[in-house]
């Protein structure tokens, strides 16, 4: 199996040769990969080096927490990716759904529907764990639809608003 | 002399107090909300009683229920821990009225220091320097505060009169933004302390937050256990604490210790307390406030002095004299504490909730962990997001930092996001290592690094690919199995074998 | 000065050494057998290489493979830990020949102390008292030993010449049983050390086993870190160690320390080592043997002296002088270590194997755990049954005992049986608390109590009934579900939800 | 449901009234019982007192490890037990099967078939974890059948010999 894995815009071609060998960017490496104690904590020995990481899927990506850093990886079957690229499909853009990262109380929504917003701008203030948490825009855009009101209690992952 | 202690708290501090009681041979009574039935303090206590629903106001803040449980269980003392009812003089009062020993200061000392404005006035009269700010006492209206603000000058801080732990605190850089910030500070203070009253304080720039631990007994002996450096903060919440502070020399340490003892004496203080100071670049120090209770960060002091502060609290509450004189207190090595919170350092430190499915604690020489959670426990949105306190000791500050790095690297928590990566980067930061930081360091001059090591990125890519590949193969197998239409019973057996 | 250390060991001690390296900033290379792929030392190391099959002789005892991995990985130093190859002079020699620093004494010192008979002769000549016993050197046949035994008198001990850790040791009370015991001692010595040679030693009755930790650098400085009391043993295996010993006074401590330093000097010793003594009722002390390596129980010394012995070993191996002079070494408080083994104290201490499905570590003030296992790890029959070392510190011995009780009570290990109940009963025993014990105490005067508290029996009955009831109800539900003929897919979903 | 639970020869009658109440020897108690983190570790609150124990089935009994002591409990449905007792059936006696408590090497078998042995007598010496472990007789009896030989490697739970 051959995969193309993208982290921070950089592509890595990883081919699984057999249980103990992979090819990364044309280099064959000996490796040993296993989950530890039935958890998404993986021990990887690769050419003698020992790594341990917490690897788990989130939405369509894979999150890797390795030595104090968090990486967001897109793993794609190389064949499918080739087809997709050939067809001119874009994986970027589209609507962004702001969801509540935790249950809490909506304290304020300092934006309005239709408002043009910038990356980093505060969209919702949510009170949880006795703290006021500012939920910010991950990119520039326009506030499309606000689905909650100040004073409303929300559940974890409940949609709060959309950005176009 | 009391024999059974009700611990009116939850989480790591309830466990900490329970341990001290057990090591002295005192029975413990835990209380819990509906969300905490499986919490560690319930599991470890001798007795445990339900308080009520998860929300603090329906459980851990219910004085009536706590006193009722004390009566029912025969507890003759109450330890309030920190937070919740720890600094409520009416609670201390109510305990005393019912003949229950309150393990803490007298109600009158709590009152004198609890109202932060009164406290400022009290210590100022005792000749202790305070940060310039509001000098009146009582409930001030927004109009008054706006007037006073002009006199103090900007930047300044709005602080909750009943405050503590950064709740209801706001920084103000100019008059225009002040009304809105007053509103939100009052709202947060109201929801945290049931008291929306606030006061103002000049923001001392480039200052360090350094506090002195004091112990006082009923015989009138007051000593201090030296300082804790608490300048590593985010949103006025302490994240890392150290003892000793690399910023103090012996002379300044002695002076601040003397002033701390004087401040405690000014309110006729008994039991453990902490005097918080701001220390400016020129090493002038100003009284900020006194916390009339055990602090979250007390373990760093315990590790360098060898004094068990909670046991000493109990001893004092039993009417015994302090076990130590001032000259017995020595600083041995250096200790650092990192507060491990369930929050996402890569996403604006938003709190993270969920079940801890797996965890591996760092252990070995010089490492202490205080925690109220364990694998299988759920971090709920009802209480503060602290998972544990990781405390290390080293012969020197440098060795303590190296040990903290080692411990952070070993620490695994699966199921919620944690601020461990933040602490790792902080311990790697040259300014932290050099001791060059003030209370604004984290927010203004420290960033979660953005650029990744390309070699590590490749390893991360390999890990993600292998995990994805494994998952894809497993689901393929699952489909095949299903197609064979295996009977339910065989299925269960196989599933059990797989997950054994 | 070396930069990468290969740790030729497994389990808790491999993790302990790895931590010291990491805190100094030295890269670590772990090695593992097929049974240890998921072991903690492999997870935490910078590099890790497979040695071979599970059996020690095919993996951790393979010098050739270890040296080969050192070459391949570029490790320029090897730490042997304890056990396995730690006291094999040929291994130290082979490292030196290849330009690899052996973190331990010179091969000649290991040889001089490794053959226990030679060691006795060496120190005797240096004027150090030894336990009466075999005085010849070399391989003695059973006939010779039977003759010597008559001269020494009974009871006596058969000990493995290459010995350590109680392996190949037998107690003999009369001549008749001696041939059979010689046979089994030789067999065990052969299988443990590859050397079936044994010697005899008079059994000193009512004696205590007290050892002195020494540190020696290449510059010729030798100091001692005071004593460890190791009399709590079962089948010549240490179970509990303390520092300081309540049996010694300052005078005897000083004398034994001086003798220990002299013994180390007699073999030109460098690095960390331990001189074991027997101390009889009249406080006469006799040299037993020297362990030319790190001891299992080194943490109790670390906790009362503040010295990190493993870091000091590395420092010495790097050619640096000791960080301490004798007068720097002070005893601060008291420390106790309990060895937590996978064995069943209610069934003749038979080793227990299996997967640790759950564990809750005691943490908090004054508690240290050194371990190489974690939940999910399997205890196999290939290696020793130690799960962890639980070490506590207290301001006094009494406080340390109380803290140990608290820690043992908190400790949960599910999946294998452990000797925690044994330690609990020991900590409750009046003789242990009073410090009144010798090396025969556990076997002769201590028993796992037989009578149960009727109130606890009732609670146990309730617990068993409720668990049985719950299980009965669950299987009833399972049958009902099956009868409804739910499809496999729904089944899996439900099963997953149930087990989340 | 009413159970009769026996520990060390002492019988306890435990009736489960509902989810929060039991009757033990005629006394109604309020209780709260739950498994902790999906493990056979149970937290029991009973009339305010907090207990935690490791409870698991072994052969036909239940093992309870509570505050440093191990209890072996027989839990029986009261109705079935009554019937059994009425019918004169005995739960005691019978054959005892000595099984290997862990994998290891049989070093010696210091008894012979047909030999009368006493409780506590060594039946098999098994080497495991580098130690020689003596497996002793749990009661008086006669060695019935020896199923292994010295020098033989055995698996965990492999039958070694029987006692009648």
Q: Around Cβ D88, how many Cβ atoms within 10 Å?
A: 6
Q: Is B468 in Cβ contact with A57 (below 8 Å)?
A: yes
B165 Cα distance to chain centroid: 8
Cβ pair A144, A118 in contact under 8 A: no
Nearest to D129 by CA among C188, C39, C82: C188
pLDDT of residue C422: 95
Q: Is B377 in Cβ contact with D50 (below 8 Å)?
A: no
Chain C: give the shortest CA distance to residue A51, in Å.
Answer: 7
Which chain D residue's Cα is nearest to B45?
D50
Chain D, 48 to 77: residues with Cβ < 8 Å from chain B are 48-50, 52
B296 touches chain D (CB under 8 A): no
Entry pTM: 0.88
Residue B493 has pLDDT above 60, yes or no: no
Q: Is C333 in Cβ contact with B306 (below 8 Å)?
A: yes
Which position has the token pair 């509103």? B183
Annotation: CATH topology of A2-78: Glycoprotein, Type 4 Pilin (3.30.700)
pLDDT of residue A86: 58
The C-alpha atoms of residue B244 and residue B334 are separated, in whole angstroms, by: 6
Beta bridge partners of A146: A161
Residue in A36, A38, A49 nearest the CB of C46: A49
Residue in D65, D71, D101 nearest the CB of C350: D101
Q: Is 3.30.470.20 the CATH classification of the domain at C208-444? A: yes
Averaged confidence pLDDT in chain C: 92
Which chain B residue's Cα is nearest to D34?
B38
pLDDT of residue C492: 42
Q: Is C377 in Cβ contact with A37 (below 8 Å)?
A: yes
Residue in B16, B24, B489 nearest the CB of C482: B489
User: What is the Rg, in whole angstroms, of the alpha carbon atoms belonging to chain C?
Assistant: 24
Token duo for residue B453: 């090591």
Instruction: In chain D, list all ranges with CATH 2.40.50.100.
Output: 87-163
Chain B: give the shortest CA distance to residue C391, in Å.
Answer: 10
C46 touches chain A (CB under 8 A): yes
Q: Is C73 in Cβ contact with A48 (below 8 Å)?
A: yes
The C-alpha atoms of residue D44 and residue C458 are separated, in whole angstroms, by: 13
Which chain D residue's Cα is nearest to C380?
D129
Chain A: give the shortest CA distance to residue B225, in Å.
Answer: 31
Residue C228 has pLDDT above 60, yes or no: yes
Cβ pair C26, C2 in contact under 8 A: yes
Mean pLDDT of all residues in B207-214: 97
Q: What class does CATH assign to B132-202? A: alpha beta
Nearest to B109 by CA among B123, B99, B125: B123
Instruction: In chain D, list all ranges with CATH 3.30.700.30.
Output: 2-78
Q: Residues near C113 by Cβ (< 8 Å), separated by ≥ 6?
A: C119, C122, C267, C273, C289, C290, C291, C292
Q: Residues near C118 by Cβ (< 8 Å), separated by ≥ 6?
A: C111, C112, C137
Which chain D residue's Cα is nearest to B377?
D37
Low-confidence stretches of chain D (pLDDT beneath 70): 84-94, 130
Q: Is B185 exposed, middle or buried (0-12, 13-18, 19+ CB in 10 A)?
A: buried
Percent of the residues in chain B that have a pLDDT greater than 90, as a whole number: 81
pLDDT of residue C494: 43
Q: Around Cβ B488, how many Cβ atoms within 10 Å?
A: 20
Residue B406 has pLDDT above 70, yes or no: yes
Tens of pLDDT, residues C325-382: 999 999 999 999 999 999 999 888 999 999 998 899 999 999 999 999 999 899 999 9
Cβ pair C496, D78 in contact under 8 A: no
Chain B, 67 to 86: residues with Cβ < 8 Å from chain C are none
The C-alpha atoms of residue B428 and residue B426 are separated, in whole angstroms, by: 5
- Chain C CB contacts of D156 under 8 Å are 353
The yes-or-no reply on B/A contact (3 CB pairs or more, < 8 Å) is yes
Residue A127 has pLDDT above 60, yes or no: yes
The C-alpha atoms of residue D10 and residue D59 are separated, in whole angstroms, by: 20
Mean pLDDT of all residues in C473-492: 58
Residue in B46, B47, B375 nearest the CB of D37: B375
The C-alpha atoms of residue B227 and residue B245 are separated, in whole angstroms, by: 7
Mean pLDDT of all residues in C254-261: 98
- Chain B CB contacts of A25 under 8 Å are 458
Q: Alpha helices, DSSP H only, in B56-141?
A: 63-73, 89-97, 107-114, 116-125
pLDDT of residue C429: 92
Beta bridge partners of D5: D12, D75
Residue in B352, B358, B466 nearest the CB of A41: B358
Cβ pair D136, D122 in contact under 8 A: yes
Which has more confidence, C424 or B165?
C424
Most distant pair of Cα atoms in chain A: their distance: 57
Averaged confidence pLDDT in chain B: 92
Q: Is C492 in Cβ contact with B491 (below 8 Å)?
A: yes
Please pick, among B208, B293, B397, B417, the residue that the annotation labels catalytic: B293
Cβ pair B28, B45 in contact under 8 A: yes
Domain ranges of chain B: 4-103, 132-202, 208-444, 454-500
- Chain D CB contacts of B47 under 8 Å are 48-50
Q: Is A37 in Cβ contact with C375 (below 8 Å)?
A: yes
Q: Around Cβ B443, how many Cβ atoms within 10 Å?
A: 13
B339 is catalytic: no
Whole-Å CA distances, C239 to C13, C230, C246, C396: 16, 8, 17, 21
Residue C499 has pLDDT above 60, yes or no: no
Annotation: CATH topology of B4-103: Rossmann fold (3.40.50)
Q: Is D66 in Cβ contact with C460 (below 8 Å)?
A: yes
Which position has the token pair 């005085």? C135
pLDDT of residue C166: 76
Mean pLDDT of all residues in C84-95: 96
Whole-Å CA distances, B193 to A50, A103, B9, B86, B197: 49, 21, 16, 11, 10
- Chain A CB contacts of C38 under 8 Å are 34, 36-37, 43
A39 touches chain C (CB under 8 A): yes
Identify the CATH number of the domain defined by range D87-163. Answer: 2.40.50.100
Nearest to B351 by CA among B284, B433, B448, B419: B419
Using CB atoms, which chains have 3+ pairs under 8 A with A? B, C
Tens of pLDDT, residues C377-394: 999 999 999 999 999 999
Q: Is C43 in Cβ contact with A43 (below 8 Å)?
A: yes
Tens of pLDDT, residues B435-487: 999 999 998 888 876 667 889 999 999 999 999 999 998 888 766 655 544 44
Select the residue from B375, B425, B465 to test the A interface by mutation, using most A Cβ atoms within 10 A: B465
Which chain C residue's Cα is nearest to B407?
C19
Residue A70 has pLDDT above 80, yes or no: yes
Cβ pair B340, B390 in contact under 8 A: yes
Nearest to A47 by CA among A71, A70, A24, A64: A24
- Chain B CB contacts of D36 under 8 Å are 38, 43, 376
Cβ pair B340, B316 in contact under 8 A: no
B306 touches chain C (CB under 8 A): yes
Chain C: give the shortest CA distance to residue D18, in Å.
Answer: 11
Tens of pLDDT, residues B53-111: 999 999 999 999 999 999 999 999 999 999 999 999 999 999 999 999 999 999 999 99
The C-alpha atoms of residue A67 and residue B460 are separated, in whole angstroms, by: 10
- Chain D CB contacts of B73 under 8 Å are 48
Residue C490 has pLDDT above 90, yes or no: no
Residue in B351, B454, B469 nearest the CB of A129: B351
Please pick, among C293, C315, C397, C403, the residue that the annotation labels catalytic: C293
Residue A87 has pLDDT above 60, yes or no: no
Look up the ipTM and state it: 0.85
């Amino acid at each position: 199996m051959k995969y193309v894995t993208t982290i921070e815009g950089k592509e890595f071609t990883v081919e699984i040769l057999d249980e103990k060998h992979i090819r990364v960017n044309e280099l064959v490496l000996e490796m040993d990969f296993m989950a530890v104690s039935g958890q998404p904590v993986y021990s990887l020995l690769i050419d003698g080096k020992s790594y341990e990481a917490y690897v788990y899927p989130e939405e369509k990506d894979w999150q890797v927490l390795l030595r104090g850093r968090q990486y967001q990886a897109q793993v794609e079957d190389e064949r499918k990716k080739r087809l997709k690229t050939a067809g001119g499909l874009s994986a970027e853009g589209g609507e962004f759904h702001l969801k509540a990262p935790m249950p809490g109380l909506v304290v304020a929504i300092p934006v309005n529907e239709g408002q043009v917003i910038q990356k980093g701008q505060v969209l919702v203030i949510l009170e949880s764990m006795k703290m006021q948490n500012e939920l910010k825009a991950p990119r520039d855009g326009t506030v499309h639809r606000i689905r909650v009101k100040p004073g409303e209690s929300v559940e974890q992952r409940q949609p709060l608003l959309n950005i176009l | 002399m009391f024999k059974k202690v009700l611990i009116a708290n939850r989480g790591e501090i309830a466990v900490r107090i329970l341990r001290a009681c057990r090591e002295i041979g005192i029975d413990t009574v835990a209380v819990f909300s509906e969300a905490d039935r499986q919490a560690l303090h319930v599991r470890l206590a001798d007795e445990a009683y339900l308080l009520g629903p998860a929300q603090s106001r329906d459980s851990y803040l219910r004085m009536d229920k706590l006193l009722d449980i004390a009566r029912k269980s025969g507890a003759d003392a109450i330890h309030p821990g920190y937070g919740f009812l720890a600094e409520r003089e009416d609670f201390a009062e109510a305990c005393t009225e019912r003949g229950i020993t309150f393990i803490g200061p007298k109600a009158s000392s709590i009152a004198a220091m609890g109202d932060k404005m009164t406290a400022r006035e009290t210590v100022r009269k005792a000749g202790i320097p305070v940060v310039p700010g509001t000098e009146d006492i009582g409930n001030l209206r927004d109009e008054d505060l706006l007037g006073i603000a002009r006199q103090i000058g900007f930047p300044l801080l709005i602080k909750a009169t009943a405050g503590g732990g950064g709740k209801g605190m706001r920084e103000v850089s100019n008059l225009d933004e002040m009304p809105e910030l007053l509103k939100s500070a009052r709202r947060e203070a109201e929801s945290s302390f049931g008291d929306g009253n606030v006061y103002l304080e000049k923001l001392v720039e480039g200052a360090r937050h350094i506090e002195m631990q004091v112990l006082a007994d009923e015989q009138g002996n007051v000593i201090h256990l030296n300082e804790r450096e608490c300048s590593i903060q985010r949103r006025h919440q302490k994240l890392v604490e150290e003892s000793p502070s690399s910023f103090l020399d012996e002379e300044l340490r002695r002076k601040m210790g003397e002033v701390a003892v004087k401040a405690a004496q000014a309110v006729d203080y008994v039991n453990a307390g902490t005097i918080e100071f701001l220390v400016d670049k020129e090493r002038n120090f100003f009284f900020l406030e006194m916390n009339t209770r055990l602090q979250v960060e007390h373990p760093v002091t315990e590790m360098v002095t060898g004094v068990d502060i909670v046991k000493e609290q109990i001893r004092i509450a039993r009417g015994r004299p302090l076990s130590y004189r001032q000259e017995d207190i020595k600083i041995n090595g250096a200790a650092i504490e990192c507060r491990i919170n369930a929050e996402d350092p890569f996403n604006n430190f938003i709190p993270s909730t969920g079940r801890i499915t797996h965890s591996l604690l760092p252990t070995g020489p010089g490492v202490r962990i205080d925690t109220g959670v364990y694998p299988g426990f759920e971090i709920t949105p009802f209480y503060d997001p602290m998972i544990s306190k990781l405390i290390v000791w080293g012969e020197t500050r440098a060795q303590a930092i190296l040990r903290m790095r080692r411990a952070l690297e070993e620490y695994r928590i699966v199921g919620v996001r944690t601020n461990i990566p933040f602490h790792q980067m902080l311990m790697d930061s040259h300014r932290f290592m050099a001791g060059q930081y003030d209370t604004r360091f984290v927010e203004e001059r420290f960033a979660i690094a953005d650029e990744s090591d390309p070699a590590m990125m490749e390893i991360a890519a390999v890990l993600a690919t292998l995990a994805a590949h494994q998952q894809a193969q497993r689901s393929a197998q699952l489909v095949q199995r299903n197609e064979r239409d295996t009977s339910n019973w065989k299925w269960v057996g196989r599933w059990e074998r797989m997950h054994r």
